[in-house]
Copies of this chain bind each other. A is one copy, B any other.
C-alpha cells in the first residue's frame, strides 16, 4: 500500500518516519519543500502537488496548519479531489472544524472517496514515538480498514461516529485542557504572590483532588523558565476559536472557554508570544513576566 502524506511539520514528520519504518511507501507534499527534506532522506518520495499525491497513493493523510490550509489541499485544480480515484480514502489529521470535516466527507462522496476526520493528541513526542491518541469520525468501514495503520502511529484510536465527530471530540479535549491551563496559571501566580514554595505546593496539589496532567507536565517547566512549545499557544488559540464557533452554532455558552480564548489572544496577538508553549500563559501576570 502506498500512502500519500501532505504536511511535513513536526507532527507529520514523526508520523511519516513511523510509516517508513513499518516499510510503507510514502509519497509526500509540503508547501515548503525544504521542510520535507529529512523524510525524503529517510526514504519518502516527493510529489509536486496534492493532485499528484492523490494520483499516486491508495490512502492520503493530511496534517497541515489551519482549516484554510486543509481546504487548499483538497479543493481546486491541483487539489486531492482533482486527482482522486474511486474507492480511495483521505484522512485529515489536522485539528480543524467539524463543519469542514462534514463538508469534505460529503464532497468526497461525489468522487466515491471516503474522507475521515482524525485529529490527534499527544504532541510531537507522541508523533515521534507512535503514541498519539486518534479521535476519528467518518465512514465506519473505511475507519476499520485503517486500523493497522492507526495502530502503527498511535497508542489508542477511537471512532466517535459520522464525519465531524472526530473534530468535535478534539474540541472537547481542547476545552478541558484550556481550563486546566487557566487554573494552573492562576494557582501558580497566587502561590508565588503569597510567597509560598511553589514547587512544594504543586507536589502537594498533585497528590490530591487538584491533580491534572498539565500541572504534572507543564508546572515544572514554568518553574524552570522553560516556555518551549510542547504545544504552540497560537495553535491552542486556533482550536479555541473553532470550539467557540461550533458552540455558537449549537447555541452553547462556554464562559471559561471564552475567557481562555481572550487570554490566549492577549498572549499570542498582543504580547506576540504565540510561538511559545501553552504554559507561557503565566507570563500575563507580573509574577512570571
| A29: min CB distance to chain B, Å | 29
Query: Is the contact region of chain A dominated by helix, strand, or loop, or is it mixed?
Result: helix
- Measured between C-beta atoms, what is the minimum distance from A131 to chain B in Å? 10
**Bound Cα distance A246, B133 (Å):** 40
Q: Among the listed stretches A41-49, A54-62, A172-180, which one makes contact with chain B, having 4 or more residues with CB under 8 Å of it?
A: A172-180
The stretch from A77-85, A138-146, A188-196 touching chain B is: A188-196
Q: Is A51 an interface residue (CB 8 A)?
A: no
Q: How far is the CB of A207 from chain B (nearest CB, A)?
A: 6
Indicate the member of A133, A208, A246 with the most B CB atoms within 10 Å. A208
Give bound CA distance, A135 to B210, whole Å: 14
- List residues of A (234-289) whose CB comes within 8 Å of B's CBs: 243, 246-247, 250, 252-257, 259, 263, 285
Cβ–Cβ < 8 Å partners of A184 in chain B = 176, 179
Please give me the residue from chain B that is nearest to A160 by CB atom: B196
**Beta-carbon contact of A208 and B213 below 8 Å:** yes
Contact between B213 and A209, CB atoms less than 8 A apart: yes
- Name which of A186, A195, A257 has the most chain B CB atoms within 10 A of its CB: A186
A137 to chain B, nearest CB (A): 9
A103 part of interface (Cβ distance < 8 Å): no
Pick from B98, B156, B189, B255: contact of A207, CB under 8 Å: B156
Given contacts A209-B214, A210-B180, contact A160 B201 (CB under 8 A): yes
Question: Do A169 and B196 touch across chains, with their CB atoms under 8 A apart?
Answer: yes
Partner of A209, one of B123, B187, B193: B123
Binding site for B on A (CB under 8 A): 98, 121-123, 133, 135, 155-156, 158, 160-161, 165, 168-169, 171-173, 175-180, 182-187, 189-191, 193-197, 200-201, 204-205, 207-215, 217, 231, 243, 246-247, 250, 252-257, 259, 263, 285
User: Could you name 6 residue pairs across A and B whose Cβ atoms are closer than 8 Å?
Assistant: A123-B209, A169-B191, A169-B204, A194-B246, A255-B259, A256-B256
